[in-house]
């Protein structure tokens, strides 16, 4: 359980880029040049373009994608948990 060294796999990065691009609303965006993302962070995840991408909409698509990839779903498990109350027991 060493999630600190998590690095998104390149094939998932490609998918993230594709999702971002599909949410670029302005074809002539000078910030991302129509890609929908501005750069790649240390953990190999993209930085969405804040000028033309609706982050909530893009995030919904990303969540749909993550839901089908067990390894990602595990890493992003917080996305799928209802923040009801504090459960101490973590299944690992
Ligand atoms: Zn843009």
- State in Å: Cα 73 to ligand 1 middle: 27
Quote the ligand 1 centre to 75 CA distance (angstroms). Answer: 27
Band (pLDDT 50/70/90 cuts) for residue 21 is very high
pLDDT for residue 17: 98
What's the Rg (C-alpha) of the chain? 15
Given a cut of 80, is residue 78 above it in pLDDT?
Answer: yes
Q: How far is the CA of 52 from the centre of ligand 1 (A)?
A: 4
pLDDT for the residue numbered 5: 81
Task: Tell me the pLDDT tens digit for each residue of 80-89.
Answer: 887 666 666 6
pLDDT digits (tens, 9 = 90+) for 22-75: 999 887 899 999 999 999 999 999 999 999 999 999 999 999 999 999 999 999
């Amino acid at each position: 359980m060493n999630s600190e060294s998590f690095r998104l796999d390149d094939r998932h990065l490609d998918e993230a880029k594709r999702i971002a691009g599909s949410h670029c609303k302005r074809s002539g965006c000078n910030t991302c040049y129509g890609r929908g993302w501005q750069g790649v962070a240390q953990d190999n995840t993209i930085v969405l373009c804040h000028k033309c991408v609706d982050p909530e909409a893009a995030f919904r698509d990303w969540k749909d994608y993550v839901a089908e990839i067990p390894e990602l779903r595990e890493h992003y498990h917080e996305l799928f948990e209802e923040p009801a109350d504090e459960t101490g027991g973590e299944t690992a």
